[in-house]
Amino acid sequence: MKRQEVTYRTPETAVEGERSVQRMSSNGSVTTIQLGSVDQADRPQVHLLPCEIEQDGPAEVSCYFTCAVKDRKHEMSVSFRGRGLKGQEVSCPHGYTGLVLKEDHKPTTDQEDRTVRVSSIFSRFTYWNLETPPNSDDVVVMAMAWPELAKAIHGSVDD
Amino acid sequence: MDLSEFEADNTVSCRLSSAIPDVCRTEDCCLGIDEAGRGPVLGPMVYGICFCPISKKDDLKGLKVADSKTLSEAERENLFHKLDEAKSFVGWALQVLSPNTISTSMLQRAKYNLNALSHDAAISLVQYALDCGVQLKELFVDTVGPAEKYQEKLSQRFPGVVVTVRPKADSLFPIVSAASICAKVARDHAVKSWKFLEDLGDMDADYGSGYPNDPKTKSWLLKYLDPVFGYPQFVRFSWSTAQTLLDSKAVPVHWDDDEEDGEKAAARKNCASMLSYFGRGKSQSTARETHRFFSERRLKTLDTL
């Protein structure tokens, strides 16, 4: 639930049917992302909160949070720890899928190889502002424009 | 008392009212203001007004209304019933401030304290009576904060009305006692039949009076503390009782506008504290700064998970 950490993959990095994606880090250890579970992964509602919660693990989201969300006239509101939040839903950039990764065995040293699996996937999520209504200048909304821009910068130039 | 309008959405503030007696639109009236549930850490705070023609003050006295705090719950119910029976000349209106309204207001970026919240609730109720055509001439209020200042504020806000702000007004003026009964009955009902929007399963509703020093309230607050979300919206997060428990038993949550300072906060925010310049620390890394486009969007290149 850490703030501003949303992980994406482009469809190109994993070919259909491929079981995993690997990446070697600078110290030589290999991180493997198992993609085999993508099809079975659940698709929960994902919320991005405007605060840092010192917790990395399960939480009673539907019992305390989702049940309290109000969606009126295209403005969503809720409160968390007694503070008022206003939010809206955004979609992941076209061609991208959001992944929630889970590491079942945490490495004890940074030399060890690591394996993570896809625990859930999402194509849209709700981001929340502290008290201020969502607008197009919000960091998350602006960040979603990068893939489009990256494509334009790195794509081939046609005459 | 019918609270269904509030119960339909108990996360916001709600106004409930009786019909306006016709005689109140034609005769000079007095109006009393009182509140219930200011102190508790649980449930709504209710502001109440009650009004009647000045000529009917003795009739009101005849109903034997008294300060709601000196009465049992059954006696209050009975008196509210009597007020309802006197609807030909007594009217009332309530502002129910949900615990969520109280929490989010008091914890707002631009702090909105309980006194200001209370004053605004009281003023909006008096304005409501005026808007309904009540011929208001005398206003009696139990004090919230310093009496003189509040009296001045109300006199300015309602010119032509004689304002009396007095501590213990609820035991001195029957019209204030009547208002206090309406408010307290609503508060009792709201607390007793609170519909939790959170799914807490078979919840133990034995939360006592809701006052922070009530042992039942204390043990309920301990039992229903969630490490991430804290409490259901029945609890006023802005109360120090709730905050102290959250600080010690729930996971810490940091907001942009937190007023923390010192080395610890700086370390958490990953920037240097003033003090670090005096120590013989490690030299600052000379990593290339990313372009503003990325920092403004908080986009980072990840090379490890």
Does residue A22 belong to the interface with chain B, where contact is any CB pair within 8 Å?
Answer: no
Look at residue B37 and give its three-state secondary structure.
coil
- Pick the closest to residue A32 from A45, A40, A23 (CA basis): A23
pLDDT value of position A31: 83
Compute the average pLDDT of residues B269-297. 68
Q: How many CB pairs under 8 A join A and B?
A: 99
Instruction: Please write the tens of the pLDDT for every residue from B108-127.
Output: 999 899 999 999 999 999 99
- Dist CA B10 CA B116 (whole Å): 21
Measured CA to CA in angstroms, residue B129 lies from A125, B124, B205 at distances of 45, 9, 36
Token pair 């208001």: residue: B136
Cβ(B52)–Cβ(B91) under 8 Å? yes
What's the confidence (pLDDT) of residue A159?
61
CA–CA separation, A78 vs A45, rounded Å? 15
Average pLDDT value for chain B: 88
pLDDT of residue B276: 62
Q: Which of A7, A55, A116 sits opposite B227 (nearest CB)?
A: A55
Residue A152, exposed/middle/buried by CB under 10 A (0-12, 13-18, 19+)? exposed
* Contact (CB<8Å) B253/A52: yes
Give B90 to chain A, closest Cα distance, Å.
37
The C-alpha torsion from A63 through A68 and A69 to A72, rounded to 10°, is 150
Q: For residue B230, list chain A residues with Cβ-Cβ distance below 8 A.
A: 81-82
**Residues 83-142 (A) with a CB less than 8 A from some CB of B:** 83-84, 101, 103, 114, 116, 130-131, 139, 142
Alpha-carbon span B155 to B140, nearest angstrom: 11
Predicted local distance difference test score (pLDDT) of residue B62: 84
Q: What is the pLDDT of residues A59-69, one digit of tens each?
A: 999 999 999 99
Instruction: Say which DSSP state A125 is in.
Output: E
Best CA proximity match to B219, nearest among B27, B41, B60 = B41
User: Which is it for strands B136-142 and B29-36: parallel, antiparallel or unpaired?
Assistant: parallel
Over 90: is that where the pLDDT of B204 sits?
no
Is A26 in CB contact (< 8 Å) with chain B? yes
Tokens 């998350």, residue located = A140
- Nearest one of A85, A93, A77, A99 to A142, comparing CA atoms: A93
User: What pLDDT is attached to residue B275?
Assistant: 62
Q: Which two tokens stand for residue B205?
A: 């509703």
Q: Which amino acid is at A48?
A: L
Residue A111, pLDDT score: 80
Q: Are B143 and B150 contacting, i.e. CB atoms less than 8 angstroms apart?
A: yes
SS3 for B60-127 is HHHCCCCCHHHCCHHHHHHHHHHHHHCCCCCEEEEEEECHHHHHHHHCCCCCCCHHHHHHHHHHHHHH
Q: Measure the CA–CA gap between B60 and B295, rounded to whole angstroms.
A: 68
Q: Which residue among A54, A68, A146 places its CB closest to the CB of B252?
A: A54
- Is residue A6 pLDDT above 50, yes or no? no
β-pairing verdict for B91-97 and B14-17: antiparallel
Distant-in-sequence, close-in-space partners of B152: CB < 8 Å, separation ≥ 6? none
pLDDT tens-digit readout, B80-114? 999 999 999 999 999 999 999 999 999 999 989 99
Task: Give the per-residue pLDDT at B9.
Answer: 87
SS3 B51: strand
A38 touches chain B (CB under 8 A): no
Spatial distance between the Cα atoms of B108 and A78, rounded to a whole number of angstroms: 14
Residue from the list B227, B296, B305 with its beta carbon closest to the beta carbon of A116: B305
pLDDT digits (tens, 9 = 90+) for B45-94: 999 999 999 999 988 888 878 767 788 889 999 999 999 999 999 999 99
pLDDT band at B290 (very low <50, low <70, confident <90, very high): confident
Of the two residues A60 and B199, the one the predictor is more confident about is: A60
Higher pLDDT, B234 or A115: B234
Q: Which pair of tokens denotes residue B1? A: 């008392």
pLDDT at A5: 37
What's the pLDDT at B281? Answer: 53
- Beta strand extents in chain A (DSSP E only): 8-9, 20-24, 30-34, 47-48, 51-53, 70-72, 75-80, 83-91, 97-102, 114-122, 124-130
φ/ψ bin of B252: left (φ > 0), alpha (ψ from -120 to 50), beta (otherwise): beta
Q: Give the Å distances, CA to CA, from A46 to A38, A68, B266, B267.
A: 16, 15, 29, 29
Token readout for B105 is 């207001």
Among A102-116, B126-140, B280-294, the range scoring the smallest mean pLDDT is B280-294
| Residue B35 marked as a ligand binder | yes
Whole-number pLDDT of residue A39: 76
Give me the sign of the Cα torsion angle A45, A48, A49, A52: positive
Rounded percentage of chain B residues whose pLDDT exceeds 70: 90
Q: Across residues B243-255, what is the average pLDDT?
A: 94
Residue A14: predicted pLDDT:
41
Q: Is pLDDT larger for residue A41 or for residue B122?
A: B122
Residue A15: what pLDDT? 40
Residues 236-265 of B with CB under 8 A from A: 236-238, 242, 246, 251-257
CA dist B33 and B15 (Å) reads: 14
- pLDDT for position B271: 60
Give the model's pLDDT for residue B282: 53
Give the minimum alpha-carbon distance from B98 to chain A in angstroms, rounded to a whole number.
12
Helix (H) or strand (E) holding B157: helix B147-157
Residue-level pLDDT at B175:
95
Res. A12 pLDDT band, cuts 50 70 90: very low
Residue type, B98: S
The per-residue pLDDT for range B147-198, each reduced to its tens digit, is 898 999 999 999 999 999 998 888 889 999 999 999 999 999 999 889 898 9
pTM of the model: 0.84
Give φ, ψ of A143 to 5 degrees: -65, -30
Instruction: Examine the predicted complex and report whether its ipTM is higher than 0.90.
Output: no
